[in-house]
Structure 1
Protein backbone atom coordinates (compact mmCIF):
# COMPACT_ATOMS: atom_id res chain seq x y z
CA UNK A 1 0.00 0.00 0.00
CA UNK A 2 1.27 3.45 -0.96
CA UNK A 3 -0.15 6.23 1.20
CA UNK A 4 0.50 9.88 0.37
CA UNK A 5 -0.28 12.45 3.04
CA UNK A 6 -1.15 15.94 1.86
CA UNK A 7 -2.12 19.06 3.75
CA UNK A 8 -0.96 22.47 4.84
CA UNK A 9 2.41 23.19 6.44
CA UNK A 10 2.46 21.99 10.05
CA UNK A 11 -0.65 19.83 9.62
CA UNK A 12 1.28 16.87 11.01
CA UNK A 13 2.07 14.98 7.79
CA UNK A 14 5.56 13.95 8.91
CA UNK A 15 4.65 13.35 12.54
CA UNK A 16 1.52 11.33 11.76
CA UNK A 17 3.22 9.68 8.78
CA UNK A 18 6.07 8.22 10.86
CA UNK A 19 3.69 6.73 13.40
CA UNK A 20 1.26 5.49 10.74
CA UNK A 21 4.08 3.77 8.86
CA UNK A 22 5.24 2.09 12.07
CA UNK A 23 1.71 0.84 12.82
CA UNK A 24 1.35 -0.50 9.27
CA UNK A 25 4.87 -1.97 9.25
CA UNK A 26 5.91 -0.14 6.08
CA UNK A 27 8.65 2.45 5.40
CA UNK A 28 8.10 6.16 5.98
CA UNK A 29 9.37 8.69 3.45
CA UNK A 30 9.45 12.47 3.73
CA UNK A 31 9.48 14.29 0.39
CA UNK A 32 11.27 17.34 1.81
CA UNK A 33 13.95 15.13 3.40
CA UNK A 34 14.42 13.29 0.09
CA UNK A 35 14.89 16.64 -1.69
CA UNK A 36 17.32 17.88 0.96
CA UNK A 37 19.39 14.69 0.61
CA UNK A 38 19.35 14.92 -3.18
CA UNK A 39 20.27 18.63 -3.25
CA UNK A 40 22.66 18.54 -0.28
CA UNK A 41 21.01 21.55 1.38
CA UNK A 42 17.95 22.53 3.39
CA UNK A 43 14.63 23.53 1.84
CA UNK A 44 15.01 27.16 3.05
CA UNK A 45 18.50 27.26 1.48
CA UNK A 46 17.16 25.88 -1.83
CA UNK A 47 14.42 28.54 -1.81
CA UNK A 48 16.86 31.37 -1.09
CA UNK A 49 19.57 30.24 -3.53
CA UNK A 50 17.55 28.82 -6.42
CA UNK A 51 13.99 30.11 -5.93
CA UNK A 52 10.61 28.47 -5.65
CA UNK A 53 10.27 27.53 -9.33
CA UNK A 54 13.48 25.49 -9.18
CA UNK A 55 12.33 23.90 -5.92
CA UNK A 56 8.94 22.92 -7.38
CA UNK A 57 10.62 21.24 -10.38
CA UNK A 58 12.92 19.24 -8.10
CA UNK A 59 9.98 18.41 -5.84
CA UNK A 60 7.92 17.12 -8.77
CA UNK A 61 10.78 14.90 -9.99
CA UNK A 62 11.35 13.50 -6.50
CA UNK A 63 7.63 12.75 -6.18
CA UNK A 64 7.63 10.93 -9.53
CA UNK A 65 10.61 8.81 -8.49
CA UNK A 66 9.10 7.81 -5.16
CA UNK A 67 5.58 7.08 -6.43
CA UNK A 68 6.82 4.99 -9.35
CA UNK A 69 8.68 2.55 -7.09
CA UNK A 70 7.07 -0.84 -6.57
CA UNK A 71 7.20 -0.69 -2.79
CA UNK A 72 4.79 0.14 0.00
CA UNK A 73 5.30 3.35 1.98
CA UNK A 74 3.75 6.28 3.77
CA UNK A 75 4.91 9.54 2.16
CA UNK A 76 4.65 12.98 3.76
CA UNK A 77 4.59 15.67 1.08
CA UNK A 78 5.31 19.37 1.40
CA UNK A 79 2.36 21.69 1.96
CA UNK A 80 2.50 22.98 -1.61
CA UNK A 81 3.28 19.71 -3.35
CA UNK A 82 -0.21 18.92 -4.70
CA UNK A 83 -0.75 22.53 -5.82
CA UNK A 84 1.98 22.79 -8.46
CA UNK A 85 2.59 21.23 -11.86
CA UNK A 86 1.14 17.78 -12.32
CA UNK A 87 1.93 16.61 -8.79
CA UNK A 88 -1.71 16.18 -7.79
CA UNK A 89 -2.37 14.15 -10.94
CA UNK A 90 0.61 11.93 -10.10
CA UNK A 91 -0.84 11.31 -6.65
CA UNK A 92 -4.48 10.82 -7.68
CA UNK A 93 -4.02 8.86 -10.90
CA UNK A 94 -1.54 6.23 -9.70
CA UNK A 95 -3.88 3.31 -9.06
CA UNK A 96 -1.93 1.88 -6.12
CA UNK A 97 -1.71 5.22 -4.24
CA UNK A 98 -4.14 6.33 -1.53
CA UNK A 99 -4.14 10.06 -0.85
CA UNK A 100 -5.06 11.38 2.59
CA UNK A 101 -5.63 15.05 3.41
CA UNK A 102 -4.82 15.91 7.02
CA UNK A 103 -7.24 18.78 7.56
CA UNK A 104 -6.05 20.90 10.47
CA UNK A 105 -7.78 23.95 12.02
CA UNK A 106 -6.25 27.34 11.19
CA UNK A 107 -5.66 28.27 14.84
CA UNK A 108 -3.68 25.05 15.38
CA UNK A 109 -1.63 25.64 12.22
CA UNK A 110 -0.82 29.23 13.27
CA UNK A 111 0.48 28.22 16.69
CA UNK A 112 2.59 25.40 15.23
CA UNK A 113 3.98 27.59 12.44
CA UNK A 114 4.89 30.46 14.75
CA UNK A 115 7.22 28.17 16.70
CA UNK A 116 8.94 26.75 13.60
CA UNK A 117 8.70 29.53 11.01
CA UNK A 118 12.49 29.79 10.54
CA UNK A 119 12.30 26.43 8.78
CA UNK A 120 9.33 27.47 6.63
CA UNK A 121 10.44 29.89 3.88
CA UNK A 122 6.88 30.76 2.87
CA UNK A 123 5.98 32.12 6.34
CA UNK A 124 9.37 33.12 7.76
CA UNK A 125 8.52 36.83 7.45
CA UNK A 126 5.29 36.59 9.48
CA UNK A 127 5.93 37.27 13.17
CA UNK A 128 2.55 37.22 14.94
CA UNK A 129 -0.24 34.67 15.29
CA UNK A 130 -2.65 37.21 13.75
CA UNK A 131 -0.50 37.66 10.64
CA UNK A 132 -0.09 33.90 10.35
CA UNK A 133 -3.86 33.39 10.73
CA UNK A 134 -4.57 35.85 7.92
CA UNK A 135 -1.91 34.32 5.67
CA UNK A 136 -3.09 30.76 6.34
CA UNK A 137 -6.74 31.66 5.65
CA UNK A 138 -5.81 33.14 2.27
CA UNK A 139 -3.43 30.30 1.42
CA UNK A 140 -5.92 27.59 2.44
CA UNK A 141 -8.60 29.27 0.35
CA UNK A 142 -6.28 28.86 -2.67
CA UNK A 143 -5.04 25.38 -1.79
CA UNK A 144 -8.20 23.71 -0.47
CA UNK A 145 -9.28 22.92 -4.04
CA UNK A 146 -6.24 20.64 -4.35
CA UNK A 147 -6.29 19.22 -0.83
CA UNK A 148 -9.99 18.33 -0.97
CA UNK A 149 -9.43 16.03 -3.95
CA UNK A 150 -7.71 13.47 -1.70
CA UNK A 151 -9.36 10.06 -1.45
CA UNK A 152 -9.69 10.48 2.33
CA UNK A 153 -10.05 13.63 4.41
CA UNK A 154 -9.08 13.23 8.05
CA UNK A 155 -9.78 15.99 10.56
CA UNK A 156 -6.58 16.45 12.51
CA UNK A 157 -5.22 18.84 15.08
CA UNK A 158 -7.52 18.87 18.08
CA UNK A 159 -6.92 15.25 19.05
CA UNK A 160 -3.87 13.13 19.77
CA UNK A 161 -1.71 11.61 17.04
CA UNK A 162 -2.88 8.17 18.14
CA UNK A 163 -6.51 9.22 17.65
CA UNK A 164 -5.69 10.55 14.17
CA UNK A 165 -3.94 7.29 13.26
CA UNK A 166 -6.89 5.30 14.58
CA UNK A 167 -9.23 7.33 12.32
CA UNK A 168 -7.00 6.56 9.33
CA UNK A 169 -6.74 2.84 10.14
CA UNK A 170 -10.53 2.58 10.52
CA UNK A 171 -10.96 4.13 7.05
CA UNK A 172 -8.32 1.84 5.52
CA UNK A 173 -9.64 -1.49 6.76
Structure 2
Protein backbone atom coordinates (compact mmCIF):
# COMPACT_ATOMS: atom_id res chain seq x y z
CA UNK A 1 0.00 0.00 0.00
CA UNK A 2 1.39 3.19 -1.09
CA UNK A 3 0.75 6.35 0.95
CA UNK A 4 0.42 9.80 -0.36
CA UNK A 5 3.23 12.19 -0.14
CA UNK A 6 1.56 14.48 2.49
CA UNK A 7 0.87 11.47 4.73
CA UNK A 8 4.49 10.24 4.45
CA UNK A 9 5.78 13.73 5.24
CA UNK A 10 3.50 13.97 8.24
CA UNK A 11 4.56 10.53 9.55
CA UNK A 12 8.25 11.42 9.10
CA UNK A 13 7.80 14.71 10.95
CA UNK A 14 5.94 12.99 13.83
CA UNK A 15 8.63 10.34 14.11
CA UNK A 16 11.38 12.98 14.21
CA UNK A 17 9.44 15.06 16.76
CA UNK A 18 8.93 12.03 19.01
CA UNK A 19 12.64 11.19 18.86
CA UNK A 20 13.62 14.76 19.75
CA UNK A 21 11.15 14.95 22.65
CA UNK A 22 12.33 11.66 24.13
CA UNK A 23 16.01 12.70 23.89
CA UNK A 24 15.41 16.15 25.38
CA UNK A 25 13.27 15.00 28.31
CA UNK A 26 15.03 11.79 29.23
CA UNK A 27 18.40 11.87 30.96
CA UNK A 28 20.64 8.94 30.57
CA UNK A 29 23.09 8.11 33.31
CA UNK A 30 26.40 6.56 32.70
CA UNK A 31 27.49 3.85 35.19
CA UNK A 32 30.39 6.00 36.51
CA UNK A 33 28.31 9.14 37.17
CA UNK A 34 28.24 10.24 40.80
CA UNK A 35 24.99 10.12 42.69
CA UNK A 36 23.48 13.61 42.92
CA UNK A 37 23.31 15.03 46.45
CA UNK A 38 19.96 14.64 48.18
CA UNK A 39 17.71 17.66 48.24
CA UNK A 40 17.97 19.58 51.52
CA UNK A 41 15.26 18.74 54.03
CA UNK A 42 13.70 21.06 56.52
CA UNK A 43 15.21 19.95 59.79
CA UNK A 44 13.71 20.91 63.13
CA UNK A 45 15.81 23.41 65.02
CA UNK A 46 16.61 23.07 68.68
CA UNK A 47 15.27 25.91 70.82
CA UNK A 48 17.80 27.47 73.17
CA UNK A 49 16.33 30.05 75.55
CA UNK A 50 18.17 33.32 75.95
CA UNK A 51 20.63 33.13 78.81
CA UNK A 52 19.34 34.60 82.04
CA UNK A 53 21.39 37.38 83.50
CA UNK A 54 23.39 36.03 86.38
CA UNK A 55 22.67 37.22 89.88
CA UNK A 56 24.97 39.95 91.08
CA UNK A 57 27.72 38.72 93.39
CA UNK A 58 26.84 39.70 96.93
CA UNK A 59 29.38 41.87 98.74
CA UNK A 60 29.72 39.39 101.61
CA UNK A 61 29.36 36.19 99.54
CA UNK A 62 27.67 33.48 101.60
CA UNK A 63 29.18 34.48 104.96
CA UNK A 64 26.27 34.59 107.42
CA UNK A 65 28.71 35.92 110.06
CA UNK A 66 29.04 39.14 108.06
CA UNK A 67 25.50 40.05 109.16
CA UNK A 68 26.15 40.07 112.92
CA UNK A 69 26.77 43.84 112.85
CA UNK A 70 23.42 44.53 111.13
CA UNK A 71 24.87 45.40 107.72
CA UNK A 72 25.44 42.76 105.07
CA UNK A 73 24.67 41.48 101.61
CA UNK A 74 24.76 37.68 101.32
CA UNK A 75 23.48 34.86 99.14
CA UNK A 76 21.68 31.90 100.70
CA UNK A 77 20.71 28.57 99.16
CA UNK A 78 19.29 26.86 102.24
CA UNK A 79 17.56 27.76 105.51
CA UNK A 80 19.78 29.85 107.84
CA UNK A 81 19.42 31.87 111.04
CA UNK A 82 21.05 35.27 111.37
CA UNK A 83 21.33 37.29 114.58
CA UNK A 84 21.98 41.03 114.43
CA UNK A 85 21.42 44.17 116.57
CA UNK A 86 17.76 45.22 116.87
CA UNK A 87 16.86 48.86 116.22
CA UNK A 88 17.65 51.42 118.94
CA UNK A 89 19.76 48.87 120.86
CA UNK A 90 16.75 46.98 122.20
CA UNK A 91 18.72 43.74 122.05
CA UNK A 92 19.21 41.21 119.31
CA UNK A 93 16.94 40.44 116.38
CA UNK A 94 16.76 37.15 114.51
CA UNK A 95 16.15 36.54 110.82
CA UNK A 96 15.31 32.90 110.08
CA UNK A 97 15.16 31.96 106.42
CA UNK A 98 12.83 28.94 106.44
CA UNK A 99 12.60 28.14 102.72
CA UNK A 100 14.77 28.85 99.68
CA UNK A 101 14.28 27.49 96.17
CA UNK A 102 14.21 28.56 92.54
CA UNK A 103 12.38 31.92 92.54
CA UNK A 104 11.20 31.37 96.12
CA UNK A 105 12.02 32.53 99.65
CA UNK A 106 10.25 32.53 103.03
CA UNK A 107 11.49 33.96 106.32
CA UNK A 108 10.57 35.08 109.84
CA UNK A 109 12.00 38.10 111.70
CA UNK A 110 11.79 38.32 115.51
CA UNK A 111 12.80 41.22 117.73
CA UNK A 112 11.60 41.41 121.33
CA UNK A 113 7.85 40.74 121.22
CA UNK A 114 7.63 41.61 117.51
CA UNK A 115 7.38 39.00 114.83
CA UNK A 116 7.12 39.50 111.07
CA UNK A 117 6.95 36.95 108.26
CA UNK A 118 7.74 37.40 104.59
CA UNK A 119 7.65 35.24 101.52
CA UNK A 120 7.79 35.63 97.79
CA UNK A 121 7.57 33.42 94.70
CA UNK A 122 8.43 34.25 91.12
CA UNK A 123 11.27 35.79 89.11
CA UNK A 124 12.45 39.10 90.54
CA UNK A 125 10.10 38.90 93.51
CA UNK A 126 11.00 39.62 97.09
CA UNK A 127 10.07 41.29 100.37
CA UNK A 128 11.17 44.30 102.37
CA UNK A 129 10.79 44.19 106.15
CA UNK A 130 11.18 47.35 108.22
CA UNK A 131 12.06 46.44 111.79
CA UNK A 132 11.55 49.26 114.33
CA UNK A 133 11.74 49.30 118.12
CA UNK A 134 7.92 49.52 118.32
CA UNK A 135 6.94 47.15 115.52
CA UNK A 136 7.64 46.01 112.00
CA UNK A 137 6.10 45.98 108.56
CA UNK A 138 6.43 44.06 105.30
CA UNK A 139 6.03 44.87 101.66
CA UNK A 140 6.35 42.09 99.05
CA UNK A 141 6.35 42.12 95.25
CA UNK A 142 8.71 42.85 92.35
CA UNK A 143 12.02 44.14 93.72
CA UNK A 144 15.27 45.50 92.43
CA UNK A 145 17.97 43.30 94.02
CA UNK A 146 20.21 46.31 94.77
CA UNK A 147 20.93 47.37 98.34
CA UNK A 148 17.98 49.11 100.02
CA UNK A 149 18.33 52.59 101.47
CA UNK A 150 18.95 52.88 105.24
CA UNK A 151 16.02 54.29 107.27
CA UNK A 152 16.40 56.26 110.51
CA UNK A 153 15.36 54.18 113.52
CA UNK A 154 14.78 51.01 111.45
CA UNK A 155 16.64 47.96 110.28
CA UNK A 156 15.73 47.19 106.68
CA UNK A 157 15.75 43.56 105.56
CA UNK A 158 15.39 42.77 101.88
CA UNK A 159 15.08 39.22 100.52
CA UNK A 160 15.02 38.73 96.74
CA UNK A 161 14.38 35.45 94.92
CA UNK A 162 16.82 33.96 92.41
CA UNK A 163 16.09 31.70 89.44
CA UNK A 164 18.92 29.33 90.40
CA UNK A 165 17.61 28.76 93.94
CA UNK A 166 19.91 31.39 95.48
CA UNK A 167 18.20 34.20 97.38
CA UNK A 168 19.90 37.54 97.96
CA UNK A 169 19.60 38.99 101.47
CA UNK A 170 20.39 42.55 102.53
CA UNK A 171 20.34 43.76 106.11
CA UNK A 172 20.80 47.51 106.40
CA UNK A 173 21.00 49.27 109.77
CA UNK A 174 21.00 53.05 110.29
**TM-score scaled by structure 1?**
0.24
Considering fraction of residues, name the structure with more helix: 1
- If you compute each CA radius of gyration, which structure gives the higher value, 1 or 2? 2
Bigger RCO (CA 8 Å, 6+ sep): 1
